[in-house]
């Protein structure tokens, strides 16, 4: 996704937690009414005992607390501060940590347990992790809602998980002190044991049941970072073996007794409806159980084929004869949109930044630039899916979701159920990049509509609604198309006198629950994030948000996917025009106000050999640096152009994310984000529309990067002991501009359009 947590706290591009609270209070009240009452209404210092046979759980596996209706609620502690919902210790010493996020490749199933295990002094070889659910305990502690997005997982839960581990450890120590009849201050912990006088030990598994009876400390003392033995150390992922051996289950792998599978024929134009339907051929296919007209996203209507497996459902859909009614909806066309956007870019829009533009007219040097950025699909490896089981006045859902709380609310509304009667089982997801965090909950609402229609048709089995790759590519919610127009005036020394910049593109949050907080003065904060900083230039920034019948959504690194490209290529162009080194020029513009940017850039430069190493013939350096989601990534790349085709050979990254909880995860996220950023540059990396219909359908005509595109990537992290910031997204924005700047060094011309068109 995605949300910008930095913006949440700075109001520069998101909204403050206090502004979010009213909305989230309503969401939590509706979603967790039963659970919240239980969390707040039980006796002080009582805990849920799961099973003496399997050891004491200082918590429980996901949903046990909510299902039982009783969980610890010490005075002064909120649900997300209570060990009971997060930690389970079995008799053999195995520690299972429940994570409050979706893991869809970013590694939080390892990172969050590392943080908790550090303060717990757990034996890392015995630590496991599972997903949480839509219970109140698993809301983001900073935002008050269930959310995986904005690179917030480690950033917002760092202190939370440290305190959870410290509280659990204190209870284990208290239990050991009571058993040995000594003062707790005489004890210490080490690698899953409480160690007493004379070196005697008690394992956490042996102490767990007694620890259940101990008070939960509201205040705990956390370790000095100098004492860390897990945090900051390169650590292999807990899910690596399962994923590399094909044993990992995802939402698409859910199998329930008697389960049926549904696919949906959706209108070719967003919001279209069924005009006429001949389903006789579909019903004749073996395995097809029902053909149902169902609501689809944006007020549309589709046809669901429910069968005893995916293949007969797909065959049934292929056999349908449907005539669609698209008379009442807009039919956008990419070429026409581009012309419209260009016209808007030449006009004043709503003003986001104001500065004196008078010096522009008399500037001795000028740059006029237009940038074009296409719609982009998320295209995760695992297509969308949601399994729904209806049981009287209750429902149970299985899916990989970034917003289990909002999705549960949407499911309850669709099914006509009480929110507390909807149970969400969060599954591991095979990617998402924001597509599984939709304010409309489109794929969840659709799946619930299919299940409801199937039940009405007499089918009582659970129903898994499954999207094909074609459904996914053509199913909407894209990174918006944008046009940027910039006029820059500067002097012979490269001093920027005036920078007039206009952005045209759809608002992501308009019409969503987030509009009230994220759209100010007619400007969606996600559209302008990443503009201007860290450069102290006099900039006038205005924005147009046209209404277009194309569903749009955050896409990994959100606004920075286009703002970083415009900023970093233009800065480079001014430096070249002034005959200044691009690195030195950037450092001078930053001054002393942006030490993290400078540190990341200088680290990348030093490690790459920039300016010192002799490049192979035909190669050039490219540089870019950008902050998103509170982290800074700088790239120094080597690239070439042969026969009009650009080639990226190597990437050296300098990263400032404060304390790197798991340097291996930081490295992996930068490598993946860099490759995804490279994918934005590849021919065919664009979603286009003609007469309202998406023209791409699969990886044959929608390009994504492949292993053959992967250059050599080295990642270097600026040392820091400050609380960690996010790394799921910041590696993406500076890659494309760094690549473009290398191309410009070779060809003398900066690519103004993505994907690159050099001819």
Mean pLDDT to the nearest integer, 147-171 = 97
What's the gap between Cα 588 and its chain centre?
33
> Which H or E run contains 650?
strand 645-656
With left for phi above 0 and alpha for psi between -120 and 50, is residue 99 left, alpha or beta?
Answer: beta
1-10, 246-255, 261-270, 424-433 — which is least confidently predicted? 1-10
How far apart CA 90 and CA 49 sit, in angstroms, is: 11
CA distances from 29 to 33, 76, 78, 353 (A): 5, 19, 15, 38
Is 27 buried (19+), middle (13-18) or exposed (0-12) by CB count in 10 A? Answer: buried
pLDDT at 45: 27
Q: Computed over its alpha carbons, how large is the radius of gyration of the chain?
A: 27
How high is the pLDDT of residue 564?
98
> What are the residue boundaries of the structural domains of the chain, listed by start?
5-237, 251-328+384-466, 348-375+478-747
- CATH architecture label of 348-375+478-747: 2-Layer Sandwich (3.30)
Domain 5-237 grouped into CATH 3.30.420.40: no
Peptide bond into 534 cis (omega under 30): yes
Confidence of residue 299 (pLDDT cuts 50, 70, 90): very high
pLDDT at res. 74 = 62
The pLDDT of residue 371 is 98
252 phi and psi angles, rounded to 5 deg: -65, -15
For residues 402 and 419, what is the distance between their CA atoms, to the nearest angstrom?
Answer: 18
- Rounded average pLDDT over 450-466: 98
pLDDT value, residue 419: 97
Rounded-to-integer distance, Cα 98 and Cα 103, Å = 12
Give dist(CA 321, CA 318) in Å, integer.
8
Q: Which of 748, 557, 550, 564 is nearest to 669 (CA)?
A: 557
Q: Find the mean pLDDT for residues 195-205.
A: 96
Name which of 571, 612, 613 is nearest 589 in CA terms: 571
Here the contacts of 594-598 (C-beta below 8 Å, separation 24 or greater) are 594/533, 594/534, 596/627, 596/632, 596/656, 596/718, 597/534, 597/625, 597/627, 597/632, 597/634, 597/656
What value does the mean pLDDT take over residues 548-562?
A: 98
Give pLDDT tens digits for 522-540. Answer: 999 999 999 999 999 999 9
Please determine, for residue 740, whether its predicted confidence score (pLDDT) is greater than 50. Answer: yes
Query: What is the pLDDT, as a whole number, of residue 759?
Result: 72
C-alpha–C-alpha distance, residues 55 and 207, integer Å:
9
Q: Which residue has the higher pLDDT, 635 or 23?
A: 635
Q: What pLDDT, in 10s, does the model give residues 702-735?
A: 999 999 999 999 999 999 999 999 999 999 999 9
Question: In the prediction, which pLDDT does 75 show?
Answer: 66
Q: How far apart are CA 134 and CA 479, in angstroms?
A: 27
Do the domains 5-237 and 251-328+384-466 sit in the same CATH topology, yes or no?
Answer: yes
**Span 382-423, pLDDT tens digits:** 999 999 999 999 999 999 999 999 999 999 999 999 999 999
Give the lowest-confidence range in 64-73, 133-142, 343-352, 642-651. 64-73
Q: pTM for this one?
A: 0.91
Q: Quick one: how far is CA 687 from the chain centroid?
A: 21
Quick one: pLDDT at residue 268? 98
> With respect to CATH, is domain 251-328+384-466 assigned 3.30.1490.20?
no
Q: Provide the percentage of residues in the chain whose pLDDT is more than 90.
A: 89
SS3 (DSSP) at 491: coil
Express as a percent the part of the chain with pLDDT over 70: 90
| Residue 139 token pair | 């809301």
Model confidence pLDDT, tens digit, residues 63-80: 233 322 233 446 689 999
User: Nearest 5°: CA angle at 295, between 292 and 298?
Assistant: 155
Spell out the residues 6+ positions from residue 575 whose beta carbon is closer than 8 angstroms to its own. Answer: 494, 581, 582, 585, 586
Residue 55 has pLDDT above 90, yes or no: no
Convert the pLDDT of each residue in 559-606 to its tens digit.
Answer: 999 999 999 999 999 999 999 999 999 999 999 999 999 999 999 999
Average pLDDT over residues 238-253: 96
Q: What is the mean pLDDT of the chain?
A: 91
Please identify which residue in the block is written with the tokens 């990534």: 633
């Amino acid at each position: 996704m995605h949300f910008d947590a930095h913006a949440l706290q700075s109001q520069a591009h998101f909204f403050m937690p206090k502004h979010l609270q009213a909305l989230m209070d309503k969401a939590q009240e509706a979603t967790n009414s039963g659970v919240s009452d239980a969390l707040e209404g039980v006796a002080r210092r009582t805990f849920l005992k799961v099973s003496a046979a399997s050891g004491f759980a200082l918590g429980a596996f996901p949903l046990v607390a909510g299902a039982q209706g009783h969980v610890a609620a010490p005075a002064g502690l909120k649900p997300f501060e209570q060990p009971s919902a997060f930690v389970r210790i079995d008799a053999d010493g195995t520690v299972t940590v429940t994570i409050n996020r979706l893991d869809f490749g970013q590694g939080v199933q390892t990172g969050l347990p590392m943080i908790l295990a550090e303060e717990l002094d757990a034996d890392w070889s015995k630590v496991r992790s599972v997903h949480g659910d839509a219970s109140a305990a698993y809301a983001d502690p900073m935002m008050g809602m269930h959310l995986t997005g904005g690179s917030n997982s480690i950033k917002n839960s760092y202190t939370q998980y440290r305190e959870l581990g410290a509280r659990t450890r204190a209870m284990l120590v208290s239990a050991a002190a009571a058993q040995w009849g000594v003062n707790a201050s005489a004890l210490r912990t080490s690698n899953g044991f409480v160690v007493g006088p004379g070196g005697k030990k008690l394992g956490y598994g042996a102490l767990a049941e007694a620890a259940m009876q101990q008070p939960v400390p509201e205040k705990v003392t956390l370790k000095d970072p100098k004492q860390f033995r897990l945090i900051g150390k390169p650590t292999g992922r807990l899910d690596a073996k399962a994923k590399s051996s094909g044993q990992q289950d995802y939402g698409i792998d859910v199998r329930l007794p008697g389960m049926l599978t549904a696919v949906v024929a959706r209108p070719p134009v967003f919001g279209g409806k069924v005009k006429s339907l001949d389903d006789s051929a579909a019903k004749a296919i073996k395995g097809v159980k029902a053909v149902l007209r169902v609501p689809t996203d944006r007020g549309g209507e589709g046809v669901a084929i429910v069968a005893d497996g995916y293949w007969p459902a797909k065959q049934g859909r292929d056999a349908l004869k449907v005539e669609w009614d698209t008379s009442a909806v807009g039919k956008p066309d990419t070429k026409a949109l581009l012309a419209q956007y260009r016209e808007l870019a030449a006009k004043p829009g709503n003003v986001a930044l104001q500065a004196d533009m008078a010096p522009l007219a008399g500037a001795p040097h000028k740059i006029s630039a237009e940038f074009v950025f296409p719609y982009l699909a998320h295209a995760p490896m695992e297509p969308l899916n949601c399994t729904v089981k209806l049981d009287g006045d209750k429902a149970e859902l299985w899916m990989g979701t970034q917003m289990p709380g909002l999705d549960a609310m949407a499911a309850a509304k669709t099914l006509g159920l009480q929110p507390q009667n909807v149970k969400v089982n969060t599954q591991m997801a095979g990617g998402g990049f924001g597509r599984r965090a939709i304010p409309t909950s489109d794929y969840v609402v659709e799946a619930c509509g299919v299940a409801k229609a199937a039940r009405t048709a007499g089918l009582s089995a659970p129903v898994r609604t499954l999207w094909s790759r074609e459904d996914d590519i053509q199913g909407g919610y894209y990174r918006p198309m944008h046009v940027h127009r910039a006029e820059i005036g500067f002097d012979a020394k490269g001093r920027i006198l005036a920078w007039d910049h206009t952005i045209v593109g759809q608002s992501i949050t308009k019409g969503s629950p987030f509009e009230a907080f994220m759209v100010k003065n007619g400007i969606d904060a996600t559209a302008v994030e990443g503009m201007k900083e860290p450069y102290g230039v006099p900039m006038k920034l205005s924005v147009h948000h046209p209404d277009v019948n194309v569903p749009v959504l955050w896409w990994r690194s959100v606004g920075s996917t286009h703002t970083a490209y415009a900023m970093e290529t233009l800065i480079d162009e001014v430096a070249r025009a002034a005959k200044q080194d691009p690195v030195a020029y950037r450092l001078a513009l930053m001054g002393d106000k942006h030490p993290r940017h400078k540190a990341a850039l200088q680290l990348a430069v030093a490690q790459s050999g920039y300016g010192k190493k002799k490049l192979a013939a035909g190669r050039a350096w490219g540089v870019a640096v950008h902050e998103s989601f509170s982290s800074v990534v700088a790239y120094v790349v080597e690239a070439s152009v042969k026969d009009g085709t650009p080639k990226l050979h190597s990437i050296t990254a300098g990263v400032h994310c404060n304390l790197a909880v798991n340097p291996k995860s930081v490295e992996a996220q930068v490598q993946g984000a860099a490759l995804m950023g490279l994918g934005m540059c590849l021919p065919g990396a664009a979603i286009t529309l003609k007469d309202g219909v998406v023209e791409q359908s699969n990886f044959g005509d929608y390009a994504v990067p492949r292993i053959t595109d992967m250059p050599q990537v080295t990642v270097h992290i600026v040392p820091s002991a400050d609380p960690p910031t996010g790394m799921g997204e910041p590696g993406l924005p500076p890659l494309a501009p760094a690549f473009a700047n290398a191309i410009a060094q070779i060809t003398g011309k900066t690519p103004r359009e993505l994907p690159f068109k050099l001819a």
